[in-house]
Amino acid sequence: MKRSLPYIKAGFLLVLVVFLFGFAEKRHSARKINDVKVHFTDSENLYVPEEVVNKLLIQNDGATSGEGLEALDLNRVESLLNAHDMIENAEVYLTLDGQLAATVSQRKPIGRAIGNSSFYLDRQGKVMPLSAYYSARVPLLTGFNEKNVSEVYPLLNQVEKDDFLKKHITGIHRLPGGKMEVHVRGCDFDVYFGDSSRTVLKFNNFKAFYKKAQKDKKLNTYKKVNLQFGDQVVCTKK
Domain end, chosen from 56, 76, 106, is at 106
Q: 194: helix, coil or strand?
A: strand
From 148, 166, 164, 151, select the one nearest 110 (Cα to Cα). 166
Domain end, chosen from 62, 83, 106, is at 106
The model's confidence at residue 111, banded by pLDDT at 50, 70 and 90, is very high
Mean pLDDT score of the chain = 82
| Residue 184 β-bridge partners | 169
What is the spatial distance between Cα 62 and Cα 59, in angstroms, rounded to a whole number? 9
Q: Each residue of 143-180: pLDDT tens digit?
A: 999 999 999 999 999 999 999 999 999 999 999 889 99
pLDDT exceeds 60 at position 24: no
pLDDT above 70 coverage of the chain, percent = 78
Find the CATH number of the domain harbouring 79. Answer: 3.10.20.310
Range of the domain at 230: 109-237
Provide the number of structural domains found in the chain: 2
